[in-house]
Amino acid sequence: MNLYIQNHKFHYELENLTRLFYPNEKITVIKDAADLKEPYINTVIDDKLKVEVKIGDFSRTLSSGLSAEAENERILCEMVYKILCEKTGVIQLWGMITGVRPVKLYRSLKKENGEAYADDYFKNKLFVSDNKLNLTKVTEKIEKKIIDTSSEKSCSLYIGIPFCPSRCKYCSFVQASIERCKHLVEPYVDLLCRELKETAGIISKLNLKLESVYMGGGTPTSLSAEQLSMILKTVNSSFDTKNIREFTVEAGRPDTITEAKLISLKENNVDRISINPQTLNDEVLKEIGRKHTTAQTLASYELASKFGFKCVNMDLIAGLPGDTYSSFKNTLDRVCKLNPECVTVHTLSMKRSSALTQDGTQINKEDSERAAKMLEYAEKKLFEDEYLPYYLYRQSRMVGNLENTGWSKSGVESLYNIFVMDETHTIFGCGAGAVTKLKDPHSNYLKRIFNFKYPYEYIDRFNEQLERKEEIYSFYSKCLNYRFSR
């Protein structure tokens, strides 16, 4: 698809919008429109706003008067959106929202102009469906209560473990098979502990309050119980733990969970874990290269239940290849019977670097409609079973342009997930692929400091990463005028 951009700079949003309708196509952005090549979407600003679409036999033109710059962008998008809805017959449940944080957008509209304005904007300017607006509103209320508990000194910690037992076909995370990278694991764990100690020193000097800790990846429980203990003990001994309100470890893959590892988590104050079935259909598990069975998921859940963690979360994915509506329904019903404190319902995202996409799997209309029905069922069932949506985000190239939603029983929402999605406060990142996201508590200003992605780079260039962390002091002294002695 050729997307022509004439006399304006809104190509980013228009490209993302076009991708909602043509997820499998290459979209070429062209600024010189001397000679329009079909199929095309031509967007023009001159004495008016104009959109002209020509795709095969289909051709439409819409135009509108000029407005303020930000509104010009929205109006151009609206015209493209309306024409592409007509052309494709696709119903976009999130309307023309392309961003990953619809709840944050809703919150800021509500804060600036009130709830009625935010509702109206979502419905009539962004064309969000009633159902997704309602989901946004419920989520926003629950999130807000938790966001309000964060103070200007609050911060959180992310610890990345970039190893997995094998690679799932839909995954695009940079992670390494623990078998193939055996030789890297020990040096990695040693250096990660060093980085944690350094980070604890920074937090202490800045007099910040560490409130939530999240160990994810990858699959943290692909490490041995001893390696896990070493990292967790480092956290407990290096950081001031008196303000930590939750400590999460993503156990993730059921095939990595053992009694010894659960003992290690429990002994080291971890109070939340995830056991992620994704589906309880063995055929689908095979299809997505998950390398574990439903029986293993159920056995791991039963084992973990004996340890009395405050929260066990289970992740599911709607829209997996080979999964049907009734199989998804069956998975969710069985998961709800187990009664975990949290259930996170993801929608399959067809990441470009995943094996699924590389194999040529495409997003089609039927899959999108089926995934939408799955989410509709999930919403109904989870509300009935007294779960509430507490955080929500979207990704690019999701089947049906849907969403991922975390559902929880009242009072056991994951603080970390909310803080990350809302960008409430600074998150310190340790480990390969981790990003330290510094947040000015008095504005929306964010600064990111990246660690190296691959475990071998993390090990080989470890000191460079520590040096980058020096920037944290200048960020805080600039933003907060903190007085600290170094």
Question: Under the criterion CB under 6 A, does residue 185 sit at the interface with ligand SF4?
Answer: no
Closest CB to ligand SF4 among residues 170, 419: 170
User: In sequence order, what E strands does 162-310 have?
Assistant: 163-164, 176-177, 209-217, 246-252, 272-275
User: Please, is 225 exposed, middle or buried when counting C-beta atoms within 10 Å of its C-beta (0-12, 13-18, 19+)?
Assistant: middle
Which 250-309 positions form the footprint of ligand SF4 (CB under 6 A)?
252-253
Mark 158-174 as b/e (b = at least 16 C-beta within 10 Å).
Answer: bbbbbbbbbbbbbbbbb
The CB-of-270 to ligand SF4 minimum distance in angstroms stands at: 18
Q: Are 436 and 390 in contact (CB under 8 A)?
A: no
- The structure tokens listed for 61 are 């033109």
Q: How far is the CB of 124 from ligand SF4 (least distance, A)?
A: 38
Closest to ligand SF4 by CB, 125 or 167: 167
Q: How far is the CB of 316 from ligand SF4 (least distance, A)?
A: 13
Task: Tell me whether residue 92 or residue 354 sits nearer to ligand SF4 (CB atom).
Answer: 354
Binding residue for ligand SF4, selected from 173, 307, 454, 482, defined by CB under 6 A: 173
Q: How far is the CB of 251 from ligand SF4 (least distance, A)?
A: 10
Give how far the C-alpha of residue 485 lies from the chain's centroid of Cα atoms, to the nearest Å.
37
Question: How far apart (Å, rounded) are the C-alpha atoms in residues 185 and 161?
Answer: 10
Give residues with Cβ within 8 angstroms of 272, minimum separation 6: 246, 247, 248, 249, 309, 310, 311, 312, 313, 414
Closer residue to ligand SF4 (CB): 175 or 279: 175
Q: How far is the CB of 176 from ligand SF4 (least distance, A)?
A: 10
Site map (CB under 6 A) of ligand SF4, residues 186-225, x = contact: -------------------------------xxx------
Among 175, 199, 221, 417, binds ligand SF4 (CB under 6 A): 175
Judging by beta carbons within 10 Å of its beta carbon (0-12, 13-18, 19+), is residue 306 exposed, middle or buried? exposed
Restricting to residues 449-478, name those near ligand SF4 by CB under 6 A: none
User: Does 167 interact with ligand SF4 (rule: CB under 6 A)?
Assistant: yes
Of 315 and 422, the one with the shorter C-beta distance to ligand SF4 is 315
Residue 175: CB minimum distance to ligand SF4, A: 5
Q: One-letter amino acid identity for 52? A: E
Closest by CA position to 352, among listed 14, 5, 24: 24
Q: How far is the CB of 382 from ligand SF4 (least distance, A)?
A: 22
- Single out the residue of 168, 191, 284, 427 in contact with ligand SF4 (rule: CB under 6 A): 168
For ligand SF4, the closer CB: 96 or 399: 399
How near is the Cβ of 215 to ligand SF4 at its closest, in Å? 13
For residue 148, the tally of other CB atoms under 10 A from its CB is: 9
The two structure tokens encoding residue 350: 């067809």
With CB under 6 A as the rule, give the number of residues binding ligand SF4. 11
- Which residue stretch of 130-138, 171-179, 329-337, 375-383 sits at the interface with ligand SF4 (rule: CB under 6 A)? 171-179
Q: At what angle do helices 259-267 and 294-305 cross, to 10 degrees?
A: 40
Residue 171 engages ligand SF4 in binding (rule: CB under 6 A): yes
Binding span for ligand SF4 by CB under 6 A among 167-175, 189-197, 357-365, 437-445? 167-175
Q: Minimum distance between the CB of residue 349 and ligand SF4, rounded to whole angstroms?
A: 11
Residue type, 282: D
Q: Which stretch binds ligand SF4 (CB under 6 A): 62-70, 143-151, 164-172, 362-370?
A: 164-172
Find the shortest distance in angstroms from Cβ 420 to ligand SF4. 16
Structure tokens at 363: 């997003």
Contacts 24+ apart (CB under 8 A), 293-300: 296/254, 296/255, 297/254, 298/338, 299/254, 300/251, 300/254, 300/257, 300/275
- Measured between alpha carbons, how far is 69 from 280 in angstroms, rounded to an integer? 49
CB of 269 vs ligand SF4, minimal distance in Å: 24
Q: Report which residue's Cβ sits closest to ligand SF4.
A: 171
Check if the beta carbon of residue 197 is closer than 8 Å to that of residue 240.
no
Q: Which run of H or E residues covers position 28?
A: strand 28-30
Give the footprint of ligand SF4 on this chain (CB under 6 A).
164, 167-168, 171, 173, 175, 217-219, 252-253
